[in-house]
Amino acid sequence: MKATFITLVVLFSLISNAQDKKAYQLFDKNGKKVSYKKLLKAAEGTQVVLFGEFHNNAISHWLELELTKDVAENKAVVLGAEMLEADNQKQVDQYLNGDINQKKLDSTARLWPNYKTDYKPLVDFAKENKLQFIATNIPRRFASLVSKKGFEALEQLTDEEKTWIAPQPIPYDATLPGYVEMLKMMGEHTSPNMPKAQASKDATMAYFISKNLKDGTTFIHYNGSYHSDNFEAISWYLKTYQPNVKIVTISSVEQKDLTKLDIENYNKANFIIVIDEDVTKTY
Q: What percent of the chain has pLDDT over 90?
A: 88
- The pairs formed by 146-149 with CB atoms below 8 angstroms and a separation of 24 or more are 146/193, 146/196, 146/197, 146/200, 147/191, 147/193, 147/194, 147/196, 147/197, 148/191, 148/193, 149/193
**What pLDDT is attached to residue 14?**
39
Give the model confidence (pLDDT) of 263-282 as tens digits. Answer: 999 999 999 999 999 998 88
Mean pLDDT in runs of 10 for the chain (283 residues)?
42 47 95 98 98 96 98 97 98 98 96 96 98 98 96 96 97 94 81 94 98 97 97 97 97 96 97 95 89
**What pLDDT is attached to residue 185?**
86
Structural domains of the chain, with CATH:
23-276 (3.40.50.11550)
**What pLDDT is attached to residue 19?**
56
**What pLDDT is attached to residue 186?**
80
